[in-house]
Structure 1
């Protein structure tokens, strides 16, 4: 299990709050994580934030 999957199962509400603070235009729909669809979800965030996939992963891991 990678860090993003761990966070999605663990303290996800806390992480979502931090993500919304960092990028106010993120919606609950943007932050809905479905197990097994990590790449699709990261791609959606990547588009919304205008960042590379590795940048999105690093940002989430840093929260």
Structure 2
């Protein structure tokens, strides 16, 4: 699966995203709206990790879906 597919089906993936990153709120999901960079930014903000680490987490999550 690639990010274009995630973006196109964002509403279906919000639950899976929130399962992976439980600190992300429904409001965060609305702001992210399928945008990968927004997701990376929210992970950085909520979890206090560097951008590279947040991107690594997203890439790992994506490879499992």
TM-score, structure 2 normalization: 0.56
Question: By how many angstroms is 1:17 displaced?
Answer: 0.6
Count of aligned positions: 58
| Counterpart in the other structure of 1:54 | 56
| Counterpart in the other structure of 1:31 | 29
Residues 5/21 of structure 1: CA separation in 2 closer, same or farther (3 Å cut) = same
Unpaired segments ≥5 residues, structure 2: none
Question: Any runs of at least 4 consecutive aligned residues in structure 1 with deviations exceeding 4 A, and if so which?
Answer: none
Across the aligned residues of Structure 1 and Structure 2, the Cα RMSD in angstroms comes to: 2.7
Unpaired segments ≥5 residues, structure 1: none
Question: By how many angstroms is 1:3 displaced?
Answer: 1.8
Flag the structure with higher helix content: 2
- Alpha-carbon separation, structure 2, partners of 1:21 and 1:38: 17
